[in-house]
Amino acid sequence: MSATDTIQREIERFVRESASNRHEDGSGPYFDEPLVGFASADDPLFVEYKRIIGSFHLTPRELFEGAFGPGTLHDGTVVVWILPIPEETRLSNRAQDRLPSKRWAHTRAFGERFNSELRRHLVAFLEASGHRAVAPLLSPLWRTVDAPPAGLASTWSERHAAYAAGLGTFGLNDGLITPRGIAHRIGSIVTDRALPPTARPYDSPRAHCLFFQGAACGACIDRCPVGALSEEGHDKALCRDHVYGTVPDETSEAYGVSEAGCGLCQTEVPCESRSPKARGRPLELR
Protein backbone atom coordinates (compact mmCIF):
# COMPACT_ATOMS: atom_id res chain seq x y z
CA MET A 1 0.00 0.00 0.00
CA SER A 2 1.35 3.49 -0.81
CA ALA A 3 2.16 5.92 2.02
CA THR A 4 -0.68 8.23 0.96
CA ASP A 5 -3.13 5.29 1.05
CA THR A 6 -1.91 4.34 4.53
CA ILE A 7 -2.51 7.87 5.84
CA GLN A 8 -5.87 8.18 4.10
CA ARG A 9 -7.04 4.86 5.55
CA GLU A 10 -5.95 5.85 9.03
CA ILE A 11 -7.94 9.11 8.81
CA GLU A 12 -10.96 7.16 7.49
CA ARG A 13 -10.63 4.57 10.26
CA PHE A 14 -10.43 7.20 12.98
CA VAL A 15 -13.52 9.01 11.66
CA ARG A 16 -15.43 5.70 11.40
CA GLU A 17 -14.42 4.24 14.77
CA SER A 18 -13.86 7.13 17.17
CA ALA A 19 -16.48 7.39 19.91
CA SER A 20 -15.93 11.17 19.87
CA ASN A 21 -17.41 11.32 16.36
CA ARG A 22 -20.91 10.56 17.72
CA HIS A 23 -23.75 12.86 18.73
CA GLU A 24 -24.12 12.62 22.50
CA ASP A 25 -27.71 11.32 22.17
CA GLY A 26 -26.40 8.38 20.12
CA SER A 27 -28.21 9.55 16.99
CA GLY A 28 -25.31 9.18 14.57
CA PRO A 29 -21.91 10.60 13.68
CA TYR A 30 -20.98 14.27 13.46
CA PHE A 31 -19.18 13.51 10.20
CA ASP A 32 -19.39 11.07 7.29
CA GLU A 33 -16.44 9.39 5.55
CA PRO A 34 -13.72 12.02 4.94
CA LEU A 35 -12.02 13.18 1.76
CA VAL A 36 -8.23 13.39 2.01
CA GLY A 37 -5.72 15.35 -0.10
CA PHE A 38 -1.98 16.09 -0.08
CA ALA A 39 -0.03 19.21 -1.11
CA SER A 40 3.70 19.76 -1.22
CA ALA A 41 4.82 22.04 1.61
CA ASP A 42 6.85 23.87 -1.04
CA ASP A 43 3.93 24.38 -3.41
CA PRO A 44 4.34 28.00 -4.64
CA LEU A 45 0.64 28.56 -3.84
CA PHE A 46 1.51 28.81 -0.14
CA VAL A 47 3.84 31.76 -0.88
CA GLU A 48 1.16 33.24 -3.16
CA TYR A 49 -1.26 33.15 -0.18
CA LYS A 50 0.86 35.85 1.49
CA ARG A 51 -0.28 38.16 -1.32
CA ILE A 52 -3.88 36.87 -1.55
CA ILE A 53 -4.60 36.62 2.19
CA GLY A 54 -1.93 38.81 3.82
CA SER A 55 1.75 38.73 4.79
CA PHE A 56 0.69 37.32 8.20
CA HIS A 57 -0.46 34.04 6.57
CA LEU A 58 2.17 31.40 7.35
CA THR A 59 3.72 28.93 4.92
CA PRO A 60 3.90 25.23 5.90
CA ARG A 61 7.65 25.69 6.36
CA GLU A 62 7.18 28.62 8.76
CA LEU A 63 4.73 26.55 10.81
CA PHE A 64 6.89 23.43 10.86
CA GLU A 65 10.17 25.22 11.55
CA GLY A 66 8.39 27.38 14.13
CA ALA A 67 7.68 24.14 15.99
CA PHE A 68 10.93 22.20 15.41
CA GLY A 69 13.59 24.82 14.59
CA PRO A 70 15.20 26.39 11.50
CA GLY A 71 16.30 24.04 8.70
CA THR A 72 14.24 21.05 9.95
CA LEU A 73 11.87 20.75 6.95
CA HIS A 74 13.22 19.32 3.68
CA ASP A 75 10.54 17.69 1.50
CA GLY A 76 7.40 18.25 3.53
CA THR A 77 3.71 17.63 2.92
CA VAL A 78 0.45 19.25 4.00
CA VAL A 79 -2.21 16.60 4.69
CA VAL A 80 -5.78 17.95 4.53
CA TRP A 81 -9.14 16.30 5.22
CA ILE A 82 -12.75 17.28 4.62
CA LEU A 83 -15.32 16.06 7.17
CA PRO A 84 -18.70 16.05 5.38
CA ILE A 85 -21.75 16.80 7.53
CA PRO A 86 -24.32 13.96 7.30
CA GLU A 87 -27.75 14.27 5.70
CA GLU A 88 -29.73 14.26 8.96
CA THR A 89 -27.85 17.35 10.20
CA ARG A 90 -28.09 19.06 6.82
CA LEU A 91 -31.85 18.43 6.67
CA SER A 92 -32.31 19.88 10.15
CA ASN A 93 -30.44 23.06 9.13
CA ARG A 94 -32.36 23.35 5.84
CA ALA A 95 -35.51 23.85 7.87
CA GLN A 96 -33.99 26.87 9.69
CA ASP A 97 -34.38 30.46 8.50
CA ARG A 98 -32.51 32.52 11.13
CA LEU A 99 -30.65 30.40 13.67
CA PRO A 100 -28.85 27.07 13.19
CA SER A 101 -30.47 23.79 14.22
CA LYS A 102 -29.35 22.14 17.45
CA ARG A 103 -27.70 19.36 15.43
CA TRP A 104 -25.70 21.88 13.41
CA ALA A 105 -24.72 23.73 16.59
CA HIS A 106 -23.48 20.52 18.21
CA THR A 107 -21.48 19.73 15.07
CA ARG A 108 -19.81 23.17 15.34
CA ALA A 109 -18.99 22.69 19.02
CA PHE A 110 -18.44 18.96 19.60
CA GLY A 111 -17.64 18.02 15.99
CA GLU A 112 -14.82 20.57 15.98
CA ARG A 113 -13.58 19.08 19.27
CA PHE A 114 -13.43 15.71 17.46
CA ASN A 115 -11.64 17.40 14.52
CA SER A 116 -8.91 18.52 16.91
CA GLU A 117 -8.66 14.98 18.29
CA LEU A 118 -8.09 13.84 14.71
CA ARG A 119 -5.40 16.52 14.27
CA ARG A 120 -3.61 15.23 17.39
CA HIS A 121 -4.13 11.59 16.38
CA LEU A 122 -2.56 12.12 12.95
CA VAL A 123 0.45 13.92 14.45
CA ALA A 124 0.97 10.92 16.80
CA PHE A 125 0.42 8.43 13.94
CA LEU A 126 3.16 10.12 11.86
CA GLU A 127 5.48 10.30 14.87
CA ALA A 128 5.03 6.55 15.38
CA SER A 129 6.50 6.02 11.90
CA GLY A 130 9.55 8.17 12.68
CA HIS A 131 8.33 11.48 11.22
CA ARG A 132 7.40 14.79 12.75
CA ALA A 133 4.22 16.82 12.26
CA VAL A 134 2.46 19.92 13.49
CA ALA A 135 -1.24 20.79 13.41
CA PRO A 136 -1.35 24.50 12.47
CA LEU A 137 -4.62 25.12 14.34
CA LEU A 138 -3.07 23.76 17.56
CA SER A 139 0.21 25.66 17.10
CA PRO A 140 1.00 28.73 19.23
CA LEU A 141 1.64 30.52 15.91
CA TRP A 142 -2.03 30.28 14.95
CA ARG A 143 -4.19 33.33 15.62
CA THR A 144 -7.07 35.18 14.04
CA VAL A 145 -6.35 38.45 12.27
CA ASP A 146 -8.50 41.31 10.97
CA ALA A 147 -6.37 43.03 8.33
CA PRO A 148 -6.39 43.89 4.62
CA PRO A 149 -6.69 42.55 2.01
CA ALA A 150 -8.64 39.57 3.44
CA GLY A 151 -10.42 41.22 6.38
CA LEU A 152 -11.32 38.59 9.01
CA ALA A 153 -8.80 35.79 8.52
CA SER A 154 -6.11 33.85 10.37
CA THR A 155 -2.48 32.82 10.11
CA TRP A 156 -3.47 29.45 8.55
CA SER A 157 -6.56 29.06 6.39
CA GLU A 158 -7.70 25.41 6.23
CA ARG A 159 -9.81 26.17 3.13
CA HIS A 160 -6.78 27.47 1.24
CA ALA A 161 -4.80 24.39 2.34
CA ALA A 162 -7.66 22.21 1.02
CA TYR A 163 -7.67 24.13 -2.28
CA ALA A 164 -3.93 23.47 -2.63
CA ALA A 165 -4.51 19.76 -1.87
CA GLY A 166 -6.98 19.35 -4.72
CA LEU A 167 -10.08 19.12 -2.52
CA GLY A 168 -12.27 21.95 -3.82
CA THR A 169 -12.79 25.55 -4.88
CA PHE A 170 -14.36 28.64 -3.32
CA GLY A 171 -18.05 29.60 -3.62
CA LEU A 172 -19.74 33.00 -3.71
CA ASN A 173 -20.25 32.70 0.07
CA ASP A 174 -16.50 31.87 0.54
CA GLY A 175 -17.32 28.22 1.46
CA LEU A 176 -15.20 25.50 -0.12
CA ILE A 177 -17.16 23.43 -2.67
CA THR A 178 -15.77 19.89 -2.62
CA PRO A 179 -16.98 16.74 -4.43
CA ARG A 180 -19.04 16.13 -1.23
CA GLY A 181 -20.41 19.67 -1.25
CA ILE A 182 -19.96 22.74 0.94
CA ALA A 183 -21.46 21.51 4.27
CA HIS A 184 -18.36 20.24 6.03
CA ARG A 185 -15.47 21.07 8.33
CA ILE A 186 -11.77 20.94 7.45
CA GLY A 187 -8.58 19.87 9.21
CA SER A 188 -4.89 19.80 8.27
CA ILE A 189 -1.38 19.01 9.48
CA VAL A 190 2.15 19.70 8.14
CA THR A 191 4.66 16.82 8.19
CA ASP A 192 8.27 16.22 7.13
CA ARG A 193 7.16 13.01 5.39
CA ALA A 194 7.57 13.49 1.60
CA LEU A 195 4.41 12.35 -0.20
CA PRO A 196 3.17 12.77 -3.78
CA PRO A 197 0.71 15.69 -4.06
CA THR A 198 -2.90 15.23 -5.13
CA ALA A 199 -3.72 16.66 -8.57
CA ARG A 200 -5.91 19.78 -8.59
CA PRO A 201 -8.83 18.96 -10.90
CA TYR A 202 -9.72 22.63 -11.51
CA ASP A 203 -8.24 25.62 -13.24
CA SER A 204 -9.55 28.48 -11.11
CA PRO A 205 -10.38 29.16 -7.43
CA ARG A 206 -14.10 29.59 -8.37
CA ALA A 207 -14.48 26.65 -10.77
CA HIS A 208 -17.18 24.71 -8.87
CA CYS A 209 -19.52 27.60 -7.97
CA LEU A 210 -22.58 27.81 -10.24
CA PHE A 211 -22.76 31.59 -9.76
CA PHE A 212 -19.23 32.11 -11.09
CA GLN A 213 -19.93 29.74 -13.98
CA GLY A 214 -22.62 32.10 -15.24
CA ALA A 215 -25.65 30.20 -13.93
CA ALA A 216 -28.45 32.19 -12.29
CA CYS A 217 -27.75 30.69 -8.87
CA GLY A 218 -26.98 32.88 -5.85
CA ALA A 219 -29.04 30.53 -3.66
CA CYS A 220 -26.72 31.25 -0.72
CA ILE A 221 -27.58 34.97 -0.98
CA ASP A 222 -31.24 34.19 -0.23
CA ARG A 223 -30.33 31.84 2.61
CA CYS A 224 -28.33 34.38 4.64
CA PRO A 225 -30.54 35.62 7.50
CA VAL A 226 -28.63 38.89 7.95
CA GLY A 227 -27.98 40.03 4.37
CA ALA A 228 -24.24 39.32 4.59
CA LEU A 229 -24.18 37.78 1.09
CA SER A 230 -24.68 39.54 -2.22
CA GLU A 231 -23.43 39.27 -5.80
CA GLU A 232 -20.42 41.26 -4.55
CA GLY A 233 -19.55 38.49 -2.09
CA HIS A 234 -19.41 38.01 1.66
CA ASP A 235 -19.64 40.78 4.29
CA LYS A 236 -17.59 39.03 6.96
CA ALA A 237 -18.33 41.56 9.72
CA LEU A 238 -22.11 41.12 9.37
CA CYS A 239 -21.62 37.35 9.22
CA ARG A 240 -19.40 37.36 12.32
CA ASP A 241 -21.83 39.53 14.30
CA HIS A 242 -24.55 36.96 13.65
CA VAL A 243 -22.38 33.83 14.16
CA TYR A 244 -20.63 35.07 17.30
CA GLY A 245 -23.28 37.53 18.58
CA THR A 246 -26.94 36.84 17.88
CA VAL A 247 -26.65 33.06 17.51
CA PRO A 248 -24.99 32.35 20.88
CA ASP A 249 -27.12 35.01 22.58
CA GLU A 250 -30.28 33.25 21.44
CA THR A 251 -29.30 29.57 21.44
CA SER A 252 -26.61 28.88 24.04
CA GLU A 253 -29.06 28.07 26.80
CA ALA A 254 -31.32 25.87 24.67
CA TYR A 255 -28.48 24.09 22.86
CA GLY A 256 -25.96 23.90 25.72
CA VAL A 257 -23.04 25.22 23.60
CA SER A 258 -21.49 28.67 23.34
CA GLU A 259 -20.27 28.27 19.73
CA ALA A 260 -23.13 27.21 17.49
CA GLY A 261 -22.09 28.48 14.03
CA CYS A 262 -24.85 29.21 11.51
CA GLY A 263 -24.31 27.36 8.22
CA LEU A 264 -27.61 28.46 6.67
CA CYS A 265 -25.66 29.37 3.49
CA GLN A 266 -24.24 25.83 3.43
CA THR A 267 -27.63 24.08 3.44
CA GLU A 268 -30.61 24.22 1.08
CA VAL A 269 -28.22 25.29 -1.72
CA PRO A 270 -27.36 23.33 -4.92
CA CYS A 271 -23.78 22.75 -3.70
CA GLU A 272 -24.85 21.49 -0.23
CA SER A 273 -23.63 17.88 -0.64
CA ARG A 274 -22.00 17.76 -4.09
CA SER A 275 -20.17 19.98 -6.52
CA PRO A 276 -22.78 20.93 -9.14
CA LYS A 277 -20.00 21.34 -11.68
CA ALA A 278 -17.76 18.40 -10.72
CA ARG A 279 -20.59 15.93 -11.39
CA GLY A 280 -20.30 16.92 -15.06
CA ARG A 281 -24.02 17.67 -15.24
CA PRO A 282 -25.26 20.66 -17.21
CA LEU A 283 -25.48 23.81 -15.10
CA GLU A 284 -28.95 24.07 -13.60
CA LEU A 285 -30.71 27.38 -14.00
CA ARG A 286 -33.25 28.38 -11.38
Residue 64 vs residues 24, 34, 48, 153, 154: alpha-carbon distances, Å = 35, 24, 18, 20, 17
* Beta carbon of residue 175, minimum distance to ligand B12 (angstroms, whole number): 4
- Least distance CB 158 / ligand B12 (angstroms): 4
For the bound state, the minimum distance from the C-beta of residue 169 to ligand B12, rounded and expressed in Å, comes to 8
Sequence-ordered list of residues with C-beta below 8 angstroms from that of 239, at least 6 positions apart, any chain: 224, 226, 228, 262
Report, in Å, the least distance between residue 253 CB and ligand B12: 19
- Rounded CA-CA distance 22/41 in Å is 32
Listed residue (121, 113, 112, 46) closest to 76, CA to CA: 46
Among 11, 262, 269, 271, binds ligand B12 (CB under 6 A): 262
- Choice from 78, 122, 167, 186 touching ligand B12 (CB under 6 A): 186
CB of 121 to ligand B12, least distance (A): 16
Q: Does 234 bind ligand B12 (CB under 6 A)?
A: yes
Nearer to ligand B12, 263 or 270 (CB): 263
With a CB cutoff of 8 Å and minimum separation 6, the contacts of 281 are none
> Segment near ligand B12 (CB under 6 A), from 13-21, 121-129, 176-184, 270-278?
176-184
**Cα separation, 90 vs 112, whole angstroms:** 16
Task: Give the residue with the Cβ less far from ligand B12, 6 or 230.
Answer: 230
Contacting ligand B12 (CB under 6 A), which of 61, 108, 180, 208? 108
Is there binding between residue 114 and ligand B12 (CB under 6 A)?
no
Interacting residue with ligand B12 among 12, 65, 92, 150 (CB under 6 A): 150
φ/ψ (deg, to 5) at 77: -140, 145
Tell me the site size for ligand B12, rule CB under 6 A. Answer: 35
Phi, psi (rounded to 5 degrees) for 23: -60, 145
As a whole number of Å, the end-to-end CA separation of the chain is: 45
Least CB distance from residue 232 to ligand B12, whole Å? 11
Pairing of strands 77-84, 176-177: unpaired
239 touching ligand B12, by CB under 6 A:
yes
CA distance 286 to 218: 9
Listed in order, strand segments (DSSP E) in the chain are 35-40, 77-84, 133-134, 144-147, 151-154, 169-170, 176-177, 184-191, 229-230, 233-234
CB contact at 8 A, 18 and 114: yes
According to the binding rule CB under 6 A, does residue 50 interact with ligand B12?
Answer: no
Find the binder of ligand B12 among 32, 158, 192, 268 (CB under 6 A). Answer: 158
Q: Contact residues for ligand B12 (CB under 6 A)?
A: 52-53, 108, 137, 144, 150, 152-154, 156-160, 163, 170, 173-176, 182, 184-186, 205, 234, 236, 239-240, 243, 261-263, 265-266
